[in-house]
Amino acid sequence: MMIAYIERFVYENDVESMTDPETNVEFAGKDFGGVQSSKPLAVIKPSTTDDVAKVIRQASRSPHLTVAARGNGHSVSGQAMAHRGLVVDMKSVEYGIQVDPTGKYADVSGGALWEDVLKRCVLGHGLAPRSWTDYLDLTVGGTLSNAGVSGQAFVFGPQTENVTELEVVTGNGDVLVCSSNLNPELFFSVLGGLGQFGIITRARVLLQPAPDMVRWIRVVYSEFSEFTRDTEWLITRREVESFDYVEGFVFVNSDDPVNGWPTVPLDSEHPFDPTHIPRPAGPVLYCLEVALHYKNEDPLSAVDKRVERLVGGLKFVEELRFEVDVGYMDFLLRVKRAEQQAKANGIWDAPHPWLNMFVSQKDIANFDRVIFKNILKYGVGGPMLVYPLLRSKWDDRKSVVLPEGEIFYLVALLRFCFPYPKALSIEEMVAQNQEIVQNCTKNGFDFKLYLPHYNSKEGWKHHFGNQWTRFQERKACFDPMAILAPGQKIFQRNWQPS
Ligand code: FAD
């Protein structure tokens, strides 16, 4: 039935039929970014891995058709779109989240949402994946195609380092199981591979015992040098003792409810008291966010002691410390609560011209001076994350590209569009993103875009740098006709290596 449906699109190439509401083409032509849009020919809802393979094989028989796997469509630059191509809705593949009896791993569908993986593993088995993203309404295949980073990555590496086996449908239409021992080139290519080499239909995700509770703490700095010294100290002393989660963000030194002081407190009982901000302070301040896991049976006095041992050596503004104890699932679902509020305010469904980067440690102080304290001194209408990661936790056989040096920072400018006059328009936000990237280039900063987006081949060549040849070779091997993930705009059908 499904194949007859695809064949209708493939052979009739009837563009007008896109308007059929049953195909959801309008929905698949949009994404969370809300900046790009496209017109797919059809949306396919496969039930099994074999259905996914059949879609790709059918597309390979046409001279021009492309296929985009769509996870939850939470990309911001059209990465999951296929203009006049086929969009494969991965969430429709029969859902599987199977926890192995050993408790060491779970086999999960590529289209499974991380939130569902969390709930199944914790509630059913008292277990949990080790490495997360901040927000969990993202699919397993969608984040593994990028990296998947959050405050646990300094311990375990990104999500791409926490899967040991994949089932993949390649651009040749082959269904292959791969791992670091079995079809290793495919395994390493697909992880962080921007959907270019295959569609992930199953992933084996490593698990650990889930804690019950989390002590969640935020502390404030006025000096960037002190903030970076302390965050780097925390992420490099894991072998001794550290927190289970380390992140940070920049906020505006004002009472602006969206960008400023009110964004720091963790509950309404402990508001931000600006009289404690040291003088002189700059236009922006910095917040270190950490979390410590514990079990219900751990005495709170022991938790307090562990926290104080770690916090004791940090140089934050003592009076600007906020902390709460929350359940582990509540902690991991914290952005869901923000989503509910944003939906109520109407800003969740408005455009999000986000910019995500990895910036080398050697340039982060200058980045603060040129970008945060200057271009972004009024904020971005949402969180401005900045926290360090360790390169040694990333296997460079995988497809993600990173700056040089052991420590680099994730910088995420998570822009929301507010309908009040002070906010920038979408065009101004996009222009500001470009200005930031241009400034980084002009100043010679060592950086890479995360969740990258380029419109030209030259942009991609530069992005991959000395890994461009390897990336092209992988494409030639696993998707030689360039059928997959056209929304990334890296290869066009019938491309030639260059
Ligand atoms: P989609 O947008 O649907 O797809 C992304 C790309 O992957 C496309 O090219 C698509 O074709 C391809 N793809 C999708 N599924 C598959 C598959 N099964 N096999 C192969 N290719 C596939 N990222 C982080 O690392 N850390 C964060 O903390 C974080 N927080 C976020 C918070 C929000 C609110 C949002 C909107 C995004 C966040 N992201 C974060 C970014 C997110 O990880 C990526 O945008 C991710 O790609 C979205 O997953 P998705 O399932 O919606 O993928």
Six token digits for residue 439: 């400034």
Nearest to 58 by CA among 493, 496, 483: 483
- Residues serving a catalytic function are 74, 134, 247
134 C-alpha vs ligand 1 centroid, how far in Å?
Answer: 12
> Residue 23: its pLDDT value, please?
54
Instruction: Supply the residue whose CA is at minimum distance from atom 32 of ligand 1.
Output: 135
| Region 357-382 average pLDDT | 97
71 C-alpha vs ligand 1 centroid, how far in Å?
Answer: 7
Is the per-residue pLDDT at 15 higher than 80? Answer: no
Ligand 1: atom nearest CA of 352 is 36
98 C-alpha vs ligand 1 centroid, how far in Å?
Answer: 22
Lining ligand 1 with CB less than 6 A are 32, 68-75, 79-80, 90, 110, 133-135, 138-139, 141-143, 145-150, 194-195, 199-200, 451, 485, 487-488
Instruction: Supply the residue whose CA is at minimum distance from atom 33 of ligand 1.
Output: 135
Ligand 1: atom nearest CA of 111 is 18
State the burial class of residue 352 (Cβ atoms within 10 Å of its Cβ: 0-12, 13-18, 19+). Answer: buried
Ligand 1: atom nearest CA of 339 is 34
Ligand 1 pocket mutation, candidates 38, 133, 333, 394, criterion most atoms within 8 A of CB: 133
Query: b/e per residue, 219-234, with b = 16+ CB within 10 A?
Result: bbbbbbebbbebbbeb
52 C-alpha vs ligand 1 centroid, how far in Å?
Answer: 19
> Residue 194: its pLDDT value, please?
98
143 C-alpha vs ligand 1 centroid, how far in Å?
Answer: 5
| Region 157-175 average pLDDT | 98
Ligand 1: atom nearest CA of 74 is 52
74 C-alpha vs ligand 1 centroid, how far in Å?
Answer: 6
406 C-alpha vs ligand 1 centroid, how far in Å?
Answer: 25
Ligand 1 pocket mutation, candidates 24, 109, 143, criterion most atoms within 8 A of CB: 143
Nearest to 116 by CA among 136, 133, 130: 136
Predicted confidence (pLDDT) per residue in 76-126, tens digit: 999 999 999 999 999 999 878 999 999 999 999 999 999 999 999 999 999
Predicted confidence (pLDDT) per residue in 456-473, tens digit: 999 999 999 999 999 999
Ligand 1 pocket mutation, candidates 75, 168, 205, criterion most atoms within 8 A of CB: 75
Instruction: Supply the residue whose CA is at minimum distance from atom 23 of ligand 1.
Output: 148
Instruction: Supply the residue whose CA is at minimum distance from atom 10 of ligand 1.
Output: 80
| Region 372-393 average pLDDT | 97
Is the per-residue pLDDT at 455 higher than 70? Answer: yes
Average pLDDT, the chain: 94
Predicted confidence (pLDDT) per residue in 257-287, tens digit: 999 999 999 999 999 999 999 998 999 999 9
Predicted confidence (pLDDT) per residue in 241-264, tens digit: 899 999 999 999 999 999 999 999
Higher-pLDDT residue of 15 and 52 is 52
Is the per-residue pLDDT at 1 higher than 60? Answer: no
Pairing of strands 86-89, 42-44: parallel
The dihedral over CA atoms of 445, 447, 453, 457, expressed in degrees to the nearest 10, equals 70
Query: b/e per residue, 62-79, with b = 16+ CB within 10 A?
Result: beebbbbbbbbbbbbbbb
Q: Residue 75, Cα to own-chain centre: how many angstroms?
A: 9
Ligand 1: atom nearest CA of 159 is 25
Tokens 């963790």, located at residue: 266
45 C-alpha vs ligand 1 centroid, how far in Å?
Answer: 19
Ligand 1: atom nearest CA of 485 is 11
> Residue 18: its pLDDT value, please?
33
Asked whether the bond before 280 is cis by omega within 30 degrees of 0, the reply is yes
The proportion of the chain whose per-residue pLDDT surpasses 90, expressed as a percent, equals 89
The model's pTM is: 0.95
Ligand 1 pocket mutation, candidates 31, 74, 139, 196, criterion most atoms within 8 A of CB: 74
Predicted confidence (pLDDT) per residue in 234-243, tens digit: 999 877 889 9
Pairing of strands 198-209, 163-170: antiparallel
Q: Report angle CA 336, 342, 344 to the nearest 5 degrees.
A: 110
